[in-house]
């Protein structure tokens, strides 16, 4: 009938935004996404990307999903904790494994579905997860080799309950501090360390930190691909499908590239000004054990979310 054919001809705008410079790989993936969906929809989808926080920072964008001023944003998953505490489940230590995410499509779908269920009442649709980076703890001049070395240190946290509690579990003090003050505070000794990512070491902290410390798979930070739910569901079904399928494709490539980039960044730093200590596989169990308190306190508050999350994983 004429009504559907009319709406099929209609073009739909997708306004996307992110807070990073255009040279970052998240921007490249947004560009790829734009190119693919525009092509696959024969131009019925039209993507506008506002980079560098020109429209919104990621946190602001999440806040504005539903106002019509932005339709899709890919913030670090911590931002979604501001909508639903349960969302923190994906930020728990040792909760994600690179291999599982890469290999298991069903796992990816179920995980996305679970996360989506936490925030659907807030008017947000979660379409998937990308990989931000693996967490690393940077220190100024003292080297960290084992758990005791972390004890008593003041470390700038990435934010969110979970990350703060994790630092606490190892005896460190989580400090909240604006990003602009990190380098200074680290070199002046206001703080002893920074919890960040390998690219954060290169781009933000630089040689203000000379030691990096990684516990394998303790912190796999993710981007949540978040859309305005009402907007998304008002799109014609075929367009929804194009968006979802395109993202599903990109996610796998992106996850692999992110792992590769973490490696490259750390190599770059090692060659230049820093040293990286990686906890050997046989010692990870001890770290896992200590991090249990974080899981327990999360489980106490959100037993349901924890249960469902474990079910998906097993």
Partner 1 sequence: MEITLFIFILLTLLVLGTHIGVALGSSALVILLIFEGTNLTVISQQAFESINDYALAAIPFFILVGDIVMKGDLAKRLLDLADLILRRIHGGAAIAAMIVSVFFASISGSSVASTTALGKNVVNLLGEKGYPKRFIAGLVATGGTIGLLIPPSLSFILIGSMMGIPIIDLFTAGIVPGILQGVMLILVTWWISRKNRWESEFHNIKVTPKMIGERFKSSSGILFLPVLILGGIYLGIFTPTEAAAVAVFYALLLVIILKKTNMRGVWTMFKGALLQSGMVYLIIIGGALTAFMLQSLGLTQGLINLIAGSGLEAWQFLLITNLLIILLGLFLDGISVIVLVSPLLFPVAIAAGIDPIHFAVILTLNIEIAAVTPPVGLNLFVMSGLTKIPVEDVAKGVGPYYFVLIISLLLVTYFPQLSLVLLK
Partner 2 sequence: MKLLSFIQDKFVIGVGVGFFVISAAWMIIEAISRQFFSKSFAISEEVVVFSLVWAILLTLGASGKKGFHVSLDLFTSKFRPRFLKLSNIFTCIVGICYAGFIMFAGIEYVQHLLRTGITSHSPLRLPMSYVFLAVPIGMFFLAMYYLQSFIKEIKSKGE
Residue 206 within binding range of partner 2, rule CB under 8 A? no
Q: Is 159 one of the binding residues for partner 2 (CB under 8 A)? A: yes
Nearest distance from C-beta of residue 106 to partner 2, angstroms: 30
171 dihedral zone (left: phi>0; alpha: psi -120 to 50; beta): left
Q: Which of 184, 264, 270, 310 is in the footprint of partner 1 by CB under 8 A?
A: 184
Query: In the complex with partner 2, which residue's Cβ is closer, 123 or 216?
Result: 123
**Position among 178, 180, 237, 314 found at the interface with partner 2 (CB under 8 A):** 178
Query: Helix, strand or coil for residue 158?
Result: coil
Window contacting partner 2 (CB under 8 A); options: 64-72, 195-203, 275-283, 301-309: 64-72
Segment contacting partner 1 by CB under 8 A, of 3-11, 157-165, 186-194, 268-276? 186-194
Q: Are strands 124-134 and 220-228 parallel, antiparallel or unpaired?
A: antiparallel
Binding of residue 174 to partner 2 (CB under 8 A): yes
User: How does strand 12-17 pair with strand 211-214?
Assistant: unpaired
Question: Quick check: 48 binds partner 1 (CB under 8 A)?
Answer: no
Closer to partner 1 by Cβ: residue 179 or 286: 179
Q: Which residues of 66-81 are buried (b: 16+ CB within 10 A; e: fewer)?
A: beeebbbbbbbbbbbb
Q: Cα separations (Å) of 70 from 35, 60, 264, 273, 310?
A: 19, 10, 33, 40, 33
Q: Cα separation of 192 and 177, whole Å?
A: 13
Residue 181, interface with partner 1 (CB under 8 A)? yes
- Both ends of the chain: CA-CA distance in Å? 47
Nearer to partner 1, 67 or 271 (CB): 67
The partner in contact with residue 60, picked from partner 2, partner 1, none with C-beta cut-offs of 5 to 8 angstroms by kind, is partner 1
Decide if 16 contacts 47 (C-beta within 8 A).
yes
3-state helix, strand and coil shares in percent for the chain, rounded to the nearest 5: 55, 20, 25
Cβ atoms 102, 253 nearer than 8 A: no
From 29-37, 79-87, 218-226, 263-271, give the range in contact with partner 2 by CB under 8 A.
79-87
Binding site for partner 1 (CB under 8 A): 54-57, 60, 63-64, 67-69, 177-181, 183-185, 187-190
Binding site for partner 2 (CB under 8 A): 59, 62-67, 78-79, 81-83, 85, 121-124, 152, 154, 157, 159-161, 164, 173-178, 190
């Amino acid at each position: 009938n004429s009504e559907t054919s009319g709406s099929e001809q209609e073009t739909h705008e997708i306004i996307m935004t992110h807070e990073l410079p255009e040279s970052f790989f998240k921007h490249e993936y947004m560009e790829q996404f734009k190119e693919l969906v525009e092509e696959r929809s024969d131009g019925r989808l039209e993507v506008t990307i506002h980079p560098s926080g020109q429209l919104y920072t990621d946190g602001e964008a999440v806040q504005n999903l539903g106002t019509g001023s932005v339709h899709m944003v890919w913030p670090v998953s911590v931002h979604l904790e501001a909508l639903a505490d349960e969302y923190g489940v994906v930020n728990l230590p040792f909760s994600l494994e690179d291999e599982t995410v890469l290999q298991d499509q069903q796992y990816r779908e179920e995980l996305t579905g679970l996360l989506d269920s936490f925030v659907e009442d807030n008017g947000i649709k979660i379409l998937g997860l990308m990989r931000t980076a693996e967490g690393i703890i940077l220190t100024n001049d003292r080297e960290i080799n084992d758990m005791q070395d972390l004890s008593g240190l003041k470390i700038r946290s990435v934010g969110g309950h979970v990350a703060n509690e994790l630092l606490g579990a190892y005896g460190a003090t989580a400090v909240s501090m604006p990003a602009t003050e990190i380098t200074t505070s680290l070199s002046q000794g206001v703080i002893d360390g920074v919890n960040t990512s390998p690219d954060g070491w290169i781009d933000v902290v630089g040689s203000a930190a000379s030691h990096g410390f990684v516990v394998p798979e303790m912190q796999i930070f993710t981007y949540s691909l978040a859309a305005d739910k009402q907007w998304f569901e008002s799109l014609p079904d075929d367009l929804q499908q194009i968006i979802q399928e395109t993202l599903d494709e990109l996610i796998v490539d992106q996850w692999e590239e992110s792992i590769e980039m973490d490696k490259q960044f750390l190599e770059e730093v090692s060659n230049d000004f820093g040293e990286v200590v990686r906890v050997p596989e046989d010692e990870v169990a001890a770290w896992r054990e200590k991090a249990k308190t974080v899981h327990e306190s999360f489980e106490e508050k959100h037993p349901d979310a924890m249960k469902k999350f474990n079910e998906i994983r097993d």
